[in-house]
């Protein structure tokens, strides 16, 4: 069976160039990807601040997809922020797995609590993990360890903004167990920043029993990231 999956850091539905939240534009772009499963990063949940609306639910309603929001943290203690999924497929189960904060924190950079959204899909049955790595190496190490503890050896897709370039050693443990869909393309698949991309930090990995037929980064500038899509076959 063939499927199409996509990963997209949506920058909390803010138009990167116009600097305003635009649900209709993001829904239109997501629909244009024509993917069966879309993993989203930097998603707001329903909170106290005006701009903290249930974005996954809103996008799901506008696209006709099933949706689920996975809270990673609460900004200012009341405003949920995390990952989400939109899918045409039925969701059999879903789990939000916290990524432990490094203790002690080894670097001076910005730290933010992250999570992994783990979802099992029906017809066909497969597992999807959606995550967003922190910026510091100790955060990334904890993220990789959390992913490795929750990977399935068969029919498993991992996607997200991993905040590291392809040659970063942080990805080595994942590369030992999974395949990077980027290998199906001769392009560099640069995804950030969207208007003048100079680096690849958004990824789709699969378990080794899944074949990648095609992978691309559509040139659709809306978020500060470009989406990445992969056509896969079980």
Whole-prediction pTM value?
A: 0.97
Q: 208 burial class (0-12, 13-18, 19+ CB within 10 angstroms)?
A: exposed
Q: Residue 161 is encoded by which pair of tokens?
A: 């903004």
88-115 pLDDT, tens digit each:
999 999 999 999 999 999 999 999 999 9
Tens-level pLDDT at each residue, the chain (234 residues):
999 999 999 999 999 999 999 999 999 999 999 999 999 999 999 999 988 999 999 999 999 999 999 999 998 889 999 999 999 999 999 999 999 999 999 999 999 999 999 999 998 999 999 999 999 999 999 999 999 999 999 999 999 999 999 999 999 999 999 999 999 999 999 999 999 999 999 999 999 999 999 999 999 999 999 999 999 999
Helix (H, G, I), strand (E, B) or coil at 36: coil
Q: Residue 40 is encoded by which pair of tokens?
A: 């989203």
Specify the DSSP class assigned to residue 199. B
Q: 164 burial class (0-12, 13-18, 19+ CB within 10 angstroms)?
A: buried
pLDDT given at position 50: 86
Q: Quote the CA–CA distance of 143 and 61 in Å, as a whole number.
A: 31
Q: Quote the CA–CA distance of 66 and 61 in Å, as a whole number.
A: 8
pLDDT given at position 81: 97
Region of residue 123 (left: phi > 0; alpha: psi -120 to 50; beta: else): left
Q: Quote the CA–CA distance of 70 and 198 in Å, as a whole number.
A: 29
Task: Map tokens 């138009």 to a residue.
Answer: 15
- Taking CA 180 as the corner, what is the angle to CA 81 and CA 221, rounded to the nearest 5 degrees? 50
Specify the DSSP class assigned to residue 82. E
- One-character DSSP codes across 98-161: EEPPPSS--SSS----EEEEEEEETTTTEEEEEEE--SSHHHHHHHHHHHHHH--SSSEEEEEE
């Amino acid at each position: 069976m063939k499927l199409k999956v996509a990963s997209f850091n949506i920058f909390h539905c803010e138009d990167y160039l116009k600097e305003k939240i635009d649900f209709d534009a993001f829904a239109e772009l997501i629909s244009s990807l024509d993917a069966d499963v879309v993993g989203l990063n930097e998603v707001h949940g329903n909170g106290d601040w005006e701009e903290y609306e249930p974005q996954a639910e809103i996008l799901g309603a506008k696209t006709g997809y099933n949706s689920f929001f996975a809270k990673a943290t609460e900004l200012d203690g009341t405003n949920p922020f995390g990952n989400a999924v939109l899918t045409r497929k039925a969701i059999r189960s879903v789990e939000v797995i916290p990524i432990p904060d490094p203790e002690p924190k080894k670097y001076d950079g910005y730290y933010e609590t992250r999570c992994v959204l783990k979802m099992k899909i029906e017809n066909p049955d497969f597992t999807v993990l959606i995550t967003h790595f922190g910026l510091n190496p100790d955060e990334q190490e904890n993220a990789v360890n959390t992913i490795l503890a929750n990977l399935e050896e068969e029919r498993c897709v991992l996607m997200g903004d991993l905040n590291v370039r392809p040659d970063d050693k942080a990805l080595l443990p994942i590369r030992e167990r999974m395949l990077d869909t980027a290998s199906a393309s001769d392009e560099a698949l640069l995804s950030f920043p969207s208007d003048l991309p100079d680096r690849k930090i958004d990824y789709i990995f699969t378990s080794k029993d899944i074949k990648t037929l095609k992978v691309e980064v559509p040139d659709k500038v809306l978020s500060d990231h470009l989406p990445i899509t992969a056509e896969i076959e079980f």
